[in-house]
Amino acid sequence: MIDQLHHTEQADRYSRQERYAPLGREGQAKLSDSKVLIIGAGALGTGIAETLVRSGVGQITIVDRDYVEWSNLQRQQLYVEQDAIERIPKAMAAAKRLSAINSTVQIEAKVMDVRVDELEELIGNTDLIMDATDNFDTRLLINDMAQKHQIPWIYGGCVGSYGITYTFLPGDTPCLNCLLGEVPLGGDTCDTSGIIPQAVQMVTANQTAEAMKLLSGNSAALRRKLLSFDVWRNEYISINVDGAKKQDCASCSPVATYPFLSSSNLEKTDVLCGRDTVQIRPARRQQLDLQLTAERLQRLEEGKVEINPFLVSFTTGDHRLVIFQDGRVLVHGTNDTAEARSLVHRYFG
């Protein structure tokens, strides 16, 4: 009896959306049949994921290279204090919360740095890519991949009280490469400039509204303009960028060469903006035995070793090194790539 009651109530889950005429039952059915790839599980990624999961998209893949820290809790809406205490990778913490919100959505979490090979693997039969990254390196990679596979993607960026978003439709709108240098894009989230959550929420509200239009078969309702705003200064601007489409664009024209997909297999070093942190990514992805790694570091007796199922943290002197299963290391306490590299080679070979 109780089960039956629950079942009837659950059938009501999307009733308010289905009553919204432009969506209706038909639109809802299309939503539940769609697959979305979310790149990044920071402020934008958690906001996007929560809205899409609540609204009943069929499948979500969420990917992120980092773990939860206390400074994230102010705006990254899926995380709780325990995630920061345990340094749970964002993708895993997000997936756990998302499954609790809506168990009918198929949710896949990936702890990885998204470069060419990873993106090619992840893209599968994705209907839409949501940009929740904080850097143009990754966005240009997403842009080329989206053009190559003809998959729409929705750009989002924010910093301070400022936000920006645009919906890229391959074969229709200009691409990100077309817009570079033509339109002020900005929107890189550098922690040093600070950020207020409302700027994030405005961006994700616009990104997910566009996503719902696209996935429910309401493409005619898409905004088609680049939107930027400042919620503190009360400025809202939308710009028609159709004229920026380049006939000979290397990413979206008939002669496209997808320049941002040419991968190099070298060890890669990134300074993480405003974080006093360097990421070192090995030439090849690995499958590390974290337990063995922790034991080896323990034996050195040169610092404090902590482990959870996803990473090992090693604090030595003024530095903290965090190594993930895929062999990536985050070196906290420096912006100097040479120093970071020498620490990594010293402790991890």
Which positions lie near Zn ion, rule CB under 5 A?
175, 177-178, 249, 251-252
Whole-number minimum distance, CB 179 to Zn ion, in Å? 8
Whole-number minimum distance, CB 177 to Zn ion, in Å? 4
Whole-number minimum distance, CB 139 to Zn ion, in Å? 13
The DSSP H or E segment spanning 197 is helix 197-215
Which residue is nearest to Zn ion, using beta carbons? 249
**Residue 335 burial (CB < 10 Å; 0-12/13-18/19+)?**
middle
Measured from the CB atom, is 136 or 267 closer to Zn ion? 136
Whole-number minimum distance, CB 182 to Zn ion, in Å? 10
Measured from the CB atom, is 35 or 149 closer to Zn ion? 149
> How far apart are alpha carbons 279 and 270 in whole angstroms?
5
Whole-number minimum distance, CB 45 to Zn ion, in Å? 25
Token output for 104: 């009918």
Whole-number minimum distance, CB 247 to Zn ion, in Å? 9
Token output for 102: 């809506």
Measured from the CB atom, is 172 or 188 closer to Zn ion? 172
Measured from the CB atom, is 14 or 166 closer to Zn ion? 166
Let me know: does 213 contact 154? Beta carbons within 8 Å: no
Measured from the CB atom, is 13 or 149 closer to Zn ion? 149
Whole-number minimum distance, CB 114 to Zn ion, in Å? 21
> How far apart are alpha carbons 95 and 114 in whole angstroms?
18
Measured from the CB atom, is 260 or 314 closer to Zn ion? 260
Whole-number minimum distance, CB 250 to Zn ion, in Å? 8
Half-sphere exposure of 130 (CA within 13 A, CB side): 35
> How far apart are alpha carbons 165 and 22 in whole angstroms?
22
The identity of residue 219, as a single letter, is S
DSSP-derived pairing of the beta strands 153-159 and 128-131: parallel
Measured from the CB atom, is 27 or 174 closer to Zn ion? 174
> How far apart are alpha carbons 44 and 41 in whole angstroms?
7
Q: Is the dihedral of CA 291, 297, 298, 303 positive or negative?
A: negative
Measured from the CB atom, is 60 or 249 closer to Zn ion? 249
Measured from the CB atom, is 248 or 301 closer to Zn ion? 248
> How far apart are alpha carbons 125 and 144 in whole angstroms?
16
Token output for 303: 């610092």
Whole-number minimum distance, CB 174 to Zn ion, in Å? 6
Half-sphere exposure of 209 (CA within 13 A, CB side): 15
Let me know: does 285 contact 121? Beta carbons within 8 Å: no
Whole-number minimum distance, CB 253 to Zn ion, in Å? 7
Nearest CA among 116, 63, 73, 69 for reference residue 88: 69
Measured from the CB atom, is 60 or 175 closer to Zn ion? 175
> How far apart are alpha carbons 289 and 228 in whole angstroms?
45
In the sheet that holds 311-316, the strands lie side by side as: 268-272, 277-281, 329-332, 319-324, 311-316, 304-308
